Amino acid sequence: MNPRSDFPILNKTINGETIVYFDNAATTQKPQIVIDAVSNFYTNSNANVHRGINPLAEEATKLYEDARATVAQFIGAASKEIIFTRGTTESINLVARAWGEASLQAGDIVVLSQAEHHANYVPWLQLKEKLGIKLAVIPVLASGELDLQAAKKLLAEPRVKLLTLSQASNVLGIINPIKELFAEARDLGIVTLLDAAQTVGHLPIDVLDLHCDFLVASAHKLYGPTGVGILFGRAELLAKMPPFLGGGGMIASVATDSFVAGPVPEKFEAGTPPIAEAIGMAAACDYIKQVSWTEIIKQEETLTEYATQKLVERPYIKLLGTALKRLPVFSLVINDLHAHDLADLLGQAGFITRAGHHCAQPLHDSLGVVASLRLSLSFYNTTEELDRFFSALDQVYQSFN
């Protein structure tokens, strides 16, 4: 498999060196088929959707709703259960406001993990301030795995109403036992939310198999455009939730003193939606099916094994989270060198990495680490790129020691 030619940006050079793009956990690169889908919409079909009675509006609406159907099928959902949003962060906020404010009361408990992204912390902290709910945090073991014994103990508390977890940490890359924990929650009558931002581009997802009540994801981590993502919600939950935003497109009728919301999914898509971006997201789903999950997983398993061996060979590197069931995501602490300095020096040689707490400050605090250097890989990366990276890292480290 050689998909690199599908991604034009991978030919870019920095200071004469072809880039090595190892920042896929932040955003993935885009294949030409996705770029073309967005461009073709603006070139040939650009119009607003749903409300225009003219041929161009009808064409745009069909493309938009076809995109919804494609994305729904990609995760095993029904079209009416897919809400297009600006991305994972907005999707979680939608659940917090529309479901949380209507369903939670002071003293109710939301369970999440120590390794969650800020997008899965802050909306619940805001509800804590507004409603007086409580947050219960599942600890992370030294291996990077969730403490399952502690998790099950927390879920058994009588006022737990929601379990909200990432399928894999954007820092540790460790894949969490979502099916097991969600089954436990379901048996206790607890609503579940899955943050699939990190896994949607690495692993096949089936919402029916996972039995999640809500799922959130972003297109830009799925080789699609920025500025669009999805909220999946079980139809019966979405039907009961009040609108998140008010305006055009989300109403059935409006009077001077009242309004009636429209049906799902329109109820949650006020204003002009991300039309071109949704079409691009659908093209990304089609592209992944074209490459095939079998090939993607095979290549990423090879990269994960190869990178792990390279790390083991270098005692000056500490890997955060050592569990084997993981994505090709590695956050590193280098002896006596700050992650920001490393990212800058490596970047000048064409290596695109990320440094900081990666919007996971509670996790870094729990590990006693201020910042880490993250390399996150995709199926379009190669072992040769890893060789180049670790050779450059060795040179940087040796120049300071």
Average pLDDT taken over every residue of the chain: 97
User: What was the pLDDT predicted at 51?
Assistant: 84
Out of 359, 369, 370, 396, which one is annotated catalytic? 359
pLDDT, tens digit, 9 for 90 and up, residues 62-84: 999 999 999 999 999 999 999 99
pLDDT at residue 2 tops 80: no
Confidence of residue 168 (pLDDT cuts 50, 70, 90): very high
- The pTM for the full model equals 0.97
CA distance 223 to 230: 14
pLDDT, tens digit, 9 for 90 and up, residues 192-235: 999 999 999 999 999 999 999 999 999 999 999 999 999 999 99
Burial class from Cβ neighbours inside 10 Å (0-12, 13-18, 19+) for residue 318 reads middle
User: What was the pLDDT predicted at 400?
Assistant: 87
Long-range interactions of 319-324: CB distance < 8 A, separation 24+: 320/144, 320/171, 320/172, 320/367, 320/369, 320/372, 321/143, 321/144, 321/169, 321/171, 321/172, 321/173, 321/174, 322/142, 322/143, 322/144, 323/143, 323/144, 323/145, 323/172, 323/174
Q: What residues contact residue 160 under an 8 Å CB cut-off, 6+ apart? A: 108, 109, 110, 111, 136, 154, 188, 190
Confidence of residue 296 (pLDDT cuts 50, 70, 90): very high
Q: For the chain, which residues make up each domain, given as ranges?
A: 3-22+292-399, 34-289
Confidence of residue 304 (pLDDT cuts 50, 70, 90): very high
According to CATH, the topology of domain 3-22+292-399 is: Aspartate Aminotransferase, domain 1 (3.90.1150)
Asked whether the CA dihedral 347, 351, 357, 358 is positive or negative, the reply is: positive
User: What was the pLDDT predicted at 94?
Assistant: 98
pLDDT, tens digit, 9 for 90 and up, residues 337-352: 999 999 999 999 999 9
User: What was the pLDDT predicted at 401?
Assistant: 81
User: What was the pLDDT predicted at 65?
Assistant: 98
User: What was the pLDDT predicted at 294?
Assistant: 97
Q: Does domain 34-289 correspond to CATH entry 3.40.640.10?
A: yes
Percent of the chain with pLDDT over 90: 98
Confidence of residue 1 (pLDDT cuts 50, 70, 90): low
User: What was the pLDDT predicted at 336?
Assistant: 85
Q: Average pLDDT in the 312-318 region?
A: 96
Q: Inter-axis angle of helices 293-312 and 383-399, to 10 degrees? A: 30
pLDDT, tens digit, 9 for 90 and up, residues 368-388: 999 999 999 999 999 999 999
Q: Indicate if 285 belongs to the active site.
A: no
pLDDT, tens digit, 9 for 90 and up, residues 89-134: 999 999 999 999 999 999 999 999 999 999 999 999 999 999 999 9
